Every structure is written in structure tokens, then in C-alpha cells.
């Protein structure tokens, strides 16, 4: 079956711009989570959506936002980009129950210049 699909794979943006990243989860998965990975901070949780509702949020500024659509696809948006937002952004999907494992996509590598 198809895995988690993230688009685009690579992105270069200028400081101050905004960006939208997309994630299509595995069919039947209702939970989508987003993570940021940088060399300095490692993998950090951004937020999780389940059935179109945000049910968990990490410690990131309000410039980072997301949403989930009725077909479980999710987008995350970063406004007013800063150089420090350069990172690998990973999306993970799961069934959303108590013990389900997460399947990660290959990520979107965002470079802010």
C-alpha cells in the first residue's frame, strides 16, 4: 500500500515569506503528526491532528500552524519565515488509537535564505 507522501521534497524560501507543506497519510489513517528536525535540536514535535481536530501541540511559536482535511490529508504552514526555520519537516500518520505505531514520510527539506 502507498506510504505517507509529503510534497514538495525540497523547498527554498526567502526570509519573511510563508510556506505550506502537504502530507497525505496512509489510507485509513486518521492521525497526522508533524515534526521538525534540525541538527541542533533533533526531532521535535510540532502538532498532531486527528479527525480534523488538533489534539496535541508542541512548543513552537504561533507562526507554525496546521490543519487536516476530511480526507485526513494535512497541511502545515509557516508564516514570516526565519533562517532558523530551515529544517527537515516530517509528517507521520497512524490509526490514532492508543498503541498504533507511526509511519513517517520522507520529509520536506526547507531552506530559508
Partner 1 sequence: DAKTTQPPSMDCAEGRAANLPCNHSTISGNEYVYWYRQIHSQGPQYIIHGLKNNETNEMASLIITEDRKSSTLILPHATLRDTAVYYCIVRAQTLTGTASKLTFGTGTRLQVTL
Question: Considering the rule CB under 8 A, would residue 107 count as an interface residue with partner 1?
Answer: yes
**Residue with cell string 502538532:** 47
Query: How many other C-beta atoms are found inside a 10 Å radius of the C-beta of residue 81?
Result: 19
By CB under 8 A, what part of segment 25-44 binds partner 1? 31, 33, 35, 42-44
**Residue with cell string 497541511:** 75
Question: Considering the rule CB under 8 A, would residue 56 count as an interface residue with partner 1?
Answer: yes
DSSP 50: E
Contact residues: partner 1, CB under 8 A: 4, 31, 33, 35, 42-45, 48, 50, 55-56, 58, 88, 90, 92, 94, 96-107
Amino acid at each position: 500500500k502507498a506510504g505517507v507522501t509529503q510534497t514538495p521534497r525540497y523547498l527554498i524560501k526567502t526570509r519573511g515569506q510563508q510556506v505550506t507543506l502537504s502530507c497525505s497519510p496512509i489510507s485509513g489513517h486518521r492521525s497526522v503528526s508533524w515534526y521538525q528536525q534540525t541538527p541542533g535540536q533533533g526531532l521535535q514535535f510540532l502538532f498532531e491532528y486527528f479527525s480534523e481536530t488538533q489534539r496535541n501541540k508542541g512548543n513552537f511559536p504561533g507562526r507554525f500552524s496546521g490543519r487536516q482535511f476530511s480526507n485526513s490529508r494535512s497541511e502545515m504552514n509557516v508564516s514570516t519565515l526565519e533562517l532558523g526555520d530551515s529544517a527537515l519537516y516530517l509528517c507521520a500518520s497512524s490509526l490514532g488509537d492508543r498503541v498504533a505505531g507511526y509511519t513517517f514520510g520522507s520529509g520536506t527539506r526547507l531552506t530559508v535564505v
